[in-house]
Chains A and B, each alone.
Chain A
Amino acid sequence: MFSFKRFNTQFCILLGQNANRHSIALLVMVMYFVIIHFKFSPSLILTDRNPFDDFFMILTIGSIGFSLDVFKQLRSPIAGIYYQMTPATVFEKWLAALLYTTLFTLVVIFTTFLLVHTLIITGANLFSTVDYAYQFPNWALAWENLKMVLFFQSLFFLGAVIFKKSPFLKTILVVVGSVILFSIIMGLVIKHQFDVDSLSVSFGSDKGIQGFEVLEQFETLIKVLNVFSWILPFGCWGAAWYRLKTIQH
């Protein structure tokens, strides 16, 4: 049975454990965010570009880093015992880690950036004759970008639970390996498709219709990949939950 009190305790434990480390990480992100507000030309002035253009990239890096950190205790043979023996269901522990690395990370980074941006723009408007406009992330692409963040976060969230040592490198290796394997398979499929196409042309088939079919197959592939990008985060999160349930120390 889900208990909000236990979930809250788990979340507070994660917060307390990672407070120092993640505050420093946030500070580094903020410093980068401040820097990208300015340009040298040759004196220091505010740049025209929207500093929030990099927001989702920073958020991705943040959520990956935090995902690797929230299971640091679990990966240690001794600290892992403490993690497992803390009274809470696997679901409560999993949900606390998931929300910490997704929603909480998003809210904290976004709020901090927004405050910093507001301060910089307000300050610039106070001391400059130019009227600088307040900017925001591109909301039209926000959902697509957020999907990308969750895609990468879920991969490293799972990697952090599965790999006891060097989860970051190992996850990257698995991802790169999978992409290469997928590319080879797709390359072979496409090559085969073109071979079949040219073969049928030589038999005098209607070339236009054949070409159209190949195009349709590509569109189907894109649709499948799109669905896959939707399913993958849920699959990774589910797999992480299962791993948490079955992991032994």
Chain B
Amino acid sequence: MITLENIRFGYTSRKPLFEDLSLTLEGGHIYGLLGKNGAGKTTLLKNMAGLRFVKSGLCTSFGLDAKRRLPSMLERIYFLPEEIWLPDMKINTYVRTYAPAWPRFDHGYFKNCLKAFEIDPTARIKTMSFGQRKKTGIAFALATKADILMLDEPTNGLDIPSKTMFRKLVAEALDEDCCIILSTHQVRDLETLIDSVIVLNEANIVFNQTIDATCEKLRFSLSTSLEMPENVLYAEMTPRGYAVVNQNLTGEESKVDLETLFNLCIQQPETIHQLFNA
């Protein structure tokens, strides 16, 4: 669905944000795009959406050059920024005005999403809180029935029940033809939702694996011992003990701890590369 081939991008010519970056995203997956502050998560999404033009390399969505921003591409992509913009009107008017731009927009589904998020469809947007506007934005994004959904920090500003509802709605929205990309710092919020992890660090992708493939190669555990465990790939102290990552040599399944995995990828990119590309 999305192909990035050896792309190069930077806001200044001196310091490129991405150097020779390649990535392919397929339908039927919920990708978690992780990276430190300023690593370029939002920019990468913008490159994919054609909002920022790559300096060199190829960036296509559905085989179409992203920077051309053709309607045939835009009808199938929805990019939801971290900060929501909604015009000063009632939700009903907003949907009536904007929804016709997306040919597959599902009004019934939008209403259901609003109901699930406990948002009054007759409410005036200006009077809504940040969280309510965010939920309206998410509901609209899901109702466009876009094949590619790019959600930048979608859980920021949502309360706990809304985060649960968000996970439920996104999980329901996924099908074989749909690709959902979640760029986030709040890994705990989306841990159960993500099925593929992409880690962005120092101008390139340092990790791009499905959760299943990660489980096959790595074993995540919690050591209650007060001493630093030995022979581990990575260990970090938590209030409950050491969060440990070992190489999975026994084939034993464990629950992937995204935060620990992310830290391992950032601190030992070589180890990760050797382990997954051997």
In the bound complex, do residue B93 and residue A16 qualify as a contact, i.e. CB atoms below 8 Å apart?
A: yes
Taking CB atoms, residues of chain A closer than 8 Å to B53 are: 248
Q: B69 near A: Cβ within 8 Å?
A: yes
In the bound complex, do residue B71 and residue A3 qualify as a contact, i.e. CB atoms below 8 Å apart?
A: yes
In the bound complex, do residue A78 and residue B71 qualify as a contact, i.e. CB atoms below 8 Å apart?
A: no
Taking CB atoms, residues of chain B closer than 8 Å to A73 are: 85, 87
In the bound complex, do residue B85 and residue A79 qualify as a contact, i.e. CB atoms below 8 Å apart?
A: yes
In the bound complex, do residue B97 and residue A85 qualify as a contact, i.e. CB atoms below 8 Å apart?
A: no
Taking CB atoms, residues of chain B closer than 8 Å to A249 are: 46, 51-52
Q: Which residue of B lies closest to A89 (CB)?
A: B71
Q: A30 near B: Cβ within 8 Å?
A: no
A82-B97 contact given A87-B102, A248-B51, CB 8 Å threshold: no
Q: Which among B52, B70, B83 is the interface contact of A78 at CB below 8 angstroms?
A: B83
In the bound complex, do residue B98 and residue A89 qualify as a contact, i.e. CB atoms below 8 Å apart?
A: no
Q: Which residue of B lies closest to A90 (CB)?
A: B69
In the bound complex, do residue A13 and residue B52 qualify as a contact, i.e. CB atoms below 8 Å apart?
A: no
User: What's the count of A-B pairs with C-beta under 8 Å?
Assistant: 65
Q: B88 near A: Cβ within 8 Å?
A: yes
Bound form: Cα–Cα A190–B89 in Å? 57
In the bound complex, do residue B71 and residue A88 qualify as a contact, i.e. CB atoms below 8 Å apart?
A: yes
Taking CB atoms, residues of chain A closer than 8 Å to B51 are: 81, 84-85, 248-249
Interface size, B (range) = 20 to 34
A78-B85 contact given A87-B75, A248-B52, A249-B46, CB 8 Å threshold: yes
Bound form: Cα–Cα A87–B53 in Å? 18
Per-residue B-contact encoding for A1-18, CB less than 8 Å = 1, 0 else: 001011001101100110
Per-residue A-contact encoding for B50-74, CB less than 8 Å = 1, 0 else: 1111000000000000000111001
A12-B79 contact given A79-B85, A84-B69, CB 8 Å threshold: no
Q: How far is the CB of B216 from chain A (nearest CB, A)?
A: 37
B residues 98-115 near A (Cβ < 8 Å) are 98, 100-103
Q: Which among B71, B83, B84, B97 is the interface contact of A87 at CB below 8 angstroms?
A: B71
Taking CB atoms, residues of chain B closer than 8 Å to A86 are: 74, 98, 101
Q: Which residue of A lies closest to B79 (CB)?
A: A85
Q: A128 near B: Cβ within 8 Å?
A: no
Q: Which residue of A lies closest to B98 (CB)?
A: A13
Q: How far is the CB of A132 from chain B (nearest CB, A)?
A: 41
Interface size, A (range) = 20 to 34
Q: How far is the CB of B5 from chain A (nearest CB, A)?
A: 20
Q: How far is the CB of B2 from chain A (nearest CB, A)?
A: 15
Q: Which among B75, B85, B102, B103 is the interface contact of A82 at CB below 8 angstroms?
A: B85
Bound form: Cα–Cα A89–B75 in Å? 11
Bound form: Cα–Cα A235–B93 in Å? 36
A6-B101 contact given A85-B49, A90-B69, A249-B46, CB 8 Å threshold: yes
A13-B88 contact given A81-B79, A87-B75, A248-B53, CB 8 Å threshold: no
Bound form: Cα–Cα A49–B75 in Å? 54
Q: How far is the CB of A228 from chain B (nearest CB, A)?
A: 33
Q: A20 near B: Cβ within 8 Å?
A: yes
Bound form: Cα–Cα A115–B79 in Å? 45
Q: B77 near A: Cβ within 8 Å?
A: yes
In the bound complex, do residue B78 and residue A85 qualify as a contact, i.e. CB atoms below 8 Å apart?
A: yes
Bound form: Cα–Cα A89–B78 in Å? 16
Q: How far is the CB of A70 from chain B (nearest CB, A)?
A: 13
Taking CB atoms, residues of chain A closer than 8 Å to B88 are: 20
Taking CB atoms, residues of chain B closer than 8 Å to A81 are: 46, 51, 79, 81, 85
A residues 55-91 near B (Cβ < 8 Å) are 73, 76, 78-79, 81-82, 84-90
Taking CB atoms, residues of chain A closer than 8 Å to B100 are: 5, 9, 12
In the bound complex, do residue B46 and residue A85 qualify as a contact, i.e. CB atoms below 8 Å apart?
A: no
In the bound complex, do residue A89 and residue B70 qualify as a contact, i.e. CB atoms below 8 Å apart?
A: yes
Q: Which residue of A lies closest to B152 (CB)?
A: A81
Taking CB atoms, residues of chain B closer than 8 Å to A12 are: 97, 100
A residues 227-249 near B (Cβ < 8 Å) are 248-249
Q: Which residue of A lies closest to B75 (CB)?
A: A87
**Closest 5 A/B residue pairs (Cβ):** A16-B97, A87-B74, A79-B85, A87-B75, A87-B71
8 additional A-B residue pairs with CB within 8 Å, beyond A12-B97, A86-B98: A6-B71, A6-B101, A10-B101, A78-B85, A84-B69, A87-B75, A248-B53, A249-B52
Could you give 6 example pairs across A and B, Cβ below 8 Å? A9-B100, A81-B79, A84-B50, A85-B79, A86-B74, A86-B98
